[in-house]
Amino acid sequence: MLGPFIAVLRRDLLLAWRGRADVLVTIGFFVVVACLFPFGVGAEPNQLREIAPGILWVDALLATLLSLHRLFAQDHADGSLEQLLLSPEPTVLWVSAKVLAYWLTTSLPLVIAAPGLGLLFDMEQGSLKVLCLSLLLGTPMLSLLGAVGAALTLGLRGGGMLLALLVLPLFVPVLIFGAGAVDAYLGGSGSDAHLLLLAGGSLAALVLAPWACAAALRIAAE
Amino acid sequence: MLEIRDLSCLRGDRLLFADLDLSVLPGERVRLLGPNGVGKTTLLRCLCGLIDPEEGEIHWNGHSIRSEREDFHRQLLYIGHSTALNDLLTPLENLRFTCRAGTDQVEEQACVEALERIGLGAQIDLPCRALSQGQRRRVGLARLFLGGERRLWILDEPFNALDVAAVADLASSLDAHCAAGGIVVLTTHQDVSFSHPGRVVDLAGHAC
């Protein structure tokens, strides 16, 4: 039953390793965009400290978006997608494996890089911890929702822009609760509610998104 | 047994063919004929279940391929126009992945032997982007040697880009599959000498 899941996960992780330049570009983008903000809004430490969670969250969202179109594009172009659709096991299985591999190779490095960038904005220890936790719980939802968008725009001309238009509005709730978690922590009301909502959203996306993705991929392969 | 009843297929807004009836018995080889654009590839993809037909039904062993999808796909081996190879992986990794994704339990050694048999023994560890068109084709076809359990082979232009010896070898593999009670449905524009002529279906007769 898990054969295709493991096969796809192993292959995608291997491919990410072989094409690690792509992963590095995403992290580089994440770092560079965060570094641009002090130039734009001025290097006033209190102000930067205050807007840091929002900046890092928007940044993570854009970095995710940057690499999202790659998720199914190669498999669609070389015909692997057809072979996967002809697998006897349910499509949602291997779609989940692809999204998991994507999250491990794109979002997880962002979560790991975030504390370093947080220090750049002089965030204090406690809020850094909350920020990382919120990214850890929220990015799976970004990957899952993004995967649906990537599957829907697969093979379309100008698919990249359409993908951005399609998924950015869906990312708004994640952004609100993600960045809000740190504000709530600093405001003294505790970040638990925000983090639980992010985790709940990710779980709901985990249940629903692979089905939507599978349906969209079947249409794209026609 | 593969049965096609009253099949019609759309591509875009155009009706490609209509009222196609065909039943293929175990051991038969069917070759689809017709000029470019008549719908050969569309029909093959329809038979695999990748495209839904506009009208009509496709049955495998008496069951609709849509309602019994999983069983049908366990019996089906499809090799399409595109080779389904990732350029960053080696032929061995690609072949092993295709087999495992299709839930075929194959040993690494069997994959190596299949690649050696099809003449890629020296390229096993090269990334696929270094292979020629014909060699890429062969990697895809190596799957045929590992798909003995699968009764229905659907092959879209399998002889493309192959050299003379490889064509003869592939033809004899298809013969052997049919002799063992399997079904082969293929398209090709080349004249290939099989041990027996097999059935020919001219799609031009059903074109709209």
- CB distance B70–A7 less than 8 Å? no
* Separation between Cα atoms, residue B53 and residue B46, nearest integer Å: 6
Q: What is the pLDDT of residues B109-151, one digit of tens each?
A: 888 888 888 888 888 888 888 888 888 888 888 888 887 688 8
Indicate the angle between helix axes A125-152 and A192-221, nearest 10 degrees: 20
Residue of chain B minimizing CA distance to A97: B101
A 10 A CB-CB count for A184 gives 19
Between strands B14-24 and B29-33, the pairing is: unpaired
Specify the 3-state DSSP secondary structure of B153: strand
Q: Which amino acid is at B24?
A: V
Q: What is the mean pLDDT of residues B176-190?
A: 87
Backbone angles phi, psi at B2, to 5 degrees: -110, 125
Specify the 3-state DSSP secondary structure of B89: coil
pLDDT class for B174, splitting at 50, 70, 90? confident
* Separation between Cα atoms, residue A149 and residue A183, nearest integer Å: 30
Query: CA–CA distance from B176 to each of B144, B172, B182 (Å)?
Result: 11, 6, 9
Listing DSSP states for A154-175 in one string gives: TT-TTHHHHHHHHHHHHHHHHH
Contact B106, B96 (CB under 8 A): yes
Distance from CA of A92 to the nearest CA of B (A): 13
Please identify which residue in the block is written with the tokens 């069983």: B71
- CB distance B84–A78 less than 8 Å? yes
Contact B92, B111 (CB under 8 A): yes
Nearest residue to B4 (alpha-carbon basis) of B64, B67, B58: B58
Give the best residue of B97, B111, B137 to mutate against chain A (max A CB count within 10 A).
B97
Q: Tell whether A83 lies on the interface with B, counting CB pairs under 8 A.
A: yes
Please identify which residue in the block is written with the tokens 């709901």: A204
Contact A124, A157 (CB under 8 A): no
Query: CA–CA distance from B200 to each of B189, B196, B203 (Å)?
Result: 12, 12, 10
List residues in chain B touching A: CB distance below 8 A: 48-52, 69-71, 73-74, 76, 78, 80-89, 93, 97-98, 100-103
CA torsion angle for A65, A66, A67, A68 (degrees, to 10)?
Answer: 30
Give the best residue of B41, B43, B45, B50 to mutate against chain A (max A CB count within 10 A).
B50
pLDDT number for residue A145: 94
Task: Please say if the pLDDT value at position A1 is more than 70.
Answer: no
Query: Quick one: B2-206 is in which CATH superfamily?
Result: P-loop containing nucleotide triphosphate hydrolases (3.40.50.300)
**How many CA atoms are closer than 13 Å to the CA of A146, on its beta-carbon side?**
33
Give percent above pLDDT 90 in chain A: 57
Give percent above pLDDT 90 in chain B: 1
Q: What is the pLDDT of residues B54-83, one digit of tens each?
A: 888 888 888 888 888 888 888 889 998 888
Task: Please say if the pLDDT value at position B194 is more than 80.
Answer: no
Q: Which two tokens stand for residue B158?
A: 């399998």
Residue B48 burial (CB < 10 Å; 0-12/13-18/19+)?
Answer: buried
pLDDT class for A92, splitting at 50, 70, 90? very high
- CB distance A86–B48 less than 8 Å? yes
pLDDT number for residue B148: 66
Distance from CA of B102 to the nearest CA of A (A): 5
* Separation between Cα atoms, residue A185 and residue A187, nearest integer Å: 5
H/E element holding B32?
A: strand B29-33
DSSP state of B207: B
Q: What is the pLDDT of residues A68-85, one digit of tens each?
A: 988 998 888 888 999 999
Contact B26, B1 (CB under 8 A): yes
Query: CA–CA distance from A80 to each of A11, A75, A146, B101 (Å)?
Result: 12, 5, 20, 10
* Separation between Cα atoms, residue A146 and residue B139, nearest integer Å: 33
pLDDT number for residue B102: 83
* Separation between Cα atoms, residue A106 and residue A166, nearest integer Å: 20
Residue of chain A minimizing CA distance to B50: A222
Q: What is the mean pLDDT of residues B7-22?
A: 84
A 89-128 near B (Cβ less than 8 A): 89, 94
pLDDT number for residue A26: 92
Q: What is the pLDDT of residues A111-168, one digit of tens each?
A: 999 999 988 888 888 889 999 999 999 999 999 999 999 999 988 887 788 899 999 9
DSSP state of A111: H
Give the best residue of B11, B43, B69, B103 to mutate against chain A (max A CB count within 10 A).
B103
Q: What is the pLDDT of residues A100-109, one digit of tens each?
A: 999 999 999 9
Q: Which two tokens stand for residue B170?
A: 């592939």
Contact B44, B156 (CB under 8 A): yes
